[in-house]
Amino acid sequence: MSAADSAPTARFGWDVGGAHVKVSLADASGAVLDVAQWACPLWQGLDHLHRTIDLVFARWPQARTAAAHHAVTMTGEMVDLFEDRAAGVRAIVAALAERLGASLRFYAGDAGWLAATDCAAGWRQVASANWLATASWVATRMVNALLVDIGSTTTDIIPIVDGRVAALGMTDAGRLATGELVYHGVVRTPLCGVAHRIEFGGAMLNVMNEWFATTADVYRLTGELDPQHDVQPSADQGPKTQAASRARLARMIGHDAHDASDLEWLQFARRWRALQLREIGANLLRVVAAHPTLAAVPLVGAGCGRFLAAALARDEARGYVDFGALAGVPDALAAWAATCAPSVAVALLAVHEGGSQRHRARGVSARAA
């Protein structure tokens, strides 16, 4: 990532999550100029969001000017800082409105773009709509595809049929029921949430239901987790080295790291990887079963864990398209654009405001779950 030059028509796309804030800068023509991500543990307080806004202003001074346009999507309303999701939307909207000015608009799917003053009434459309922003933009580029966005915490599996988002669930609860939302990511997921039994040393062992290790430990050992995406604290608040990751993995099955060789712990990490990939793949099959026309379509990979989406595509002999390449951003930004796909998508949808209305999710108002 490199800071972009100031532009009087700067368009900023924000994805405000519970653990990260991702922001993209585009110009009025829809060219993506820069992308960045910051750790923001929102569950610890709104002051983290305000500090992140300060970092955005420091990176892009034009973001605080009246000429800047800001388009926002979010998932952060789900964190347990807030009494419920409606309160979360109100709090995040208020914090952003205080800092970002009158041009601020919030992505609300089928409801279009809402001003801050309209979000209290329209909170259901604003809440956790970042997946819909990404899928709606992908649907402007691909007629039939499966968007697989694997991030630090969750996986979205979104069907696109005939150039339209064909998701059966429109809320987190509804998407959990359909397999379109899977609470598996490559950084923050506790390993006890990946599997309850795993093979080690020729025996099947029960897994300790303790937050001793996370998926970040697995992908540090396999070498697939980019250090730039490894910004959350480890389970024990300890170092993010391979040695420390081996120690945390060992604890999951009642061992110490010195009980086995480094190669054996790498093989153990690969077993965890296989189990997580199997779970994501099982949900992919559920989504495909509901849309048989997608049996052989390409996967569009997004998120910092899209290397698993690419692995799924290889396993199923499907095509694979990286979101960064699909967005046509410069090579130097392509990886970050894919990692921060919802922020890129919401920026580009805002540039072509009205285009998002032509690519609505099918039947949003009728079947919100």
Residue 233: inside a domain, yes or no? yes
Angle, vertex CA 285, rays to CA 303 and CA 356, nearest 5: 50
3-state secondary structure 82-138: CCCHHHHHHHHHHHHHHHHCCCCEEECHHHCEECHHHCCCCHHHHCCCHHHHHHHHH
Closest CA to 149 of 352, 344, 362: 344
Residue-level pLDDT at 8: 53
pLDDT digits 0-9 by tens, 252-269: 999 999 999 999 999 999
Side-chain half-sphere exposure of 333, counting CA atoms within 13 A: 23
Residue-level pLDDT at 43: 96
For the chain, how many structural domains are there in total?
A: 3
Residue with tokens 């750790």: 39
Determine the Cα–Cα distance for residues 199 and 285; give it in Å rounded to an integer. 25
Residue-level pLDDT at 352: 84
pLDDT digits 0-9 by tens, 312-326: 999 999 999 999 999
Average pLDDT over residues 92-115: 96
pLDDT exceeds 70 at position 149: yes
Residue 4: inside a domain, yes or no? no
User: Is residue 348 within 8 Å of 30, Cβ to Cβ?
Assistant: yes
pLDDT digits 0-9 by tens, 324-368: 999 999 999 999 999 999 999 999 999 987 333 333 333 333 233
Residue-level pLDDT at 287: 98
pLDDT band of residue 1 (cuts 50, 70, 90) is: very low
pLDDT exceeds 90 at position 176: yes
- The verdict on 166 and 310 lying in the same domain is yes
H runs (alpha helix) in the chain: 47-59, 85-100, 123-126, 130-138, 172-178, 215-222, 242-251, 262-290, 306-315, 323-326, 331-339, 341-351, 355-358, 364-367
- The verdict on 343 and 273 lying in the same domain is no
Percent of the chain with pLDDT over 90: 91
pLDDT digits 0-9 by tens, 38-92: 999 999 999 999 999 999 999 999 999 999 999 999 999 999 999 999 999 999 9
- The verdict on 30 and 82 lying in the same domain is yes
- The verdict on 55 and 128 lying in the same domain is yes
Residue-level pLDDT at 257: 98
Percent of the chain with pLDDT over 70: 93
Strands 11-16 and 69-74: parallel
pLDDT digits 0-9 by tens, 181-233: 999 999 999 999 999 999 999 999 999 999 999 999 999 999 999 999 999 99
pLDDT digits 0-9 by tens, 275-302: 999 999 999 999 999 999 999 999 999 9
Give the chain's largest Cα–Cα span: 64
pLDDT digits 0-9 by tens, 227-239: 999 999 999 999 9
pLDDT exceeds 80 at position 95: yes
- The verdict on 265 and 203 lying in the same domain is yes
Residue with tokens 């939302």: 181
Average pLDDT, the chain: 93
Tell me which residue range forms the domain holding 27: 11-133+325-367
Residue 6: inside a domain, yes or no? no
Residue-level pLDDT at 357: 39
CATH number of the domain to which 268 belongs: 3.30.420.190
- The verdict on 46 and 149 lying in the same domain is no
Determine the Cα–Cα distance for residues 258 and 185; give it in Å rounded to an integer. 28
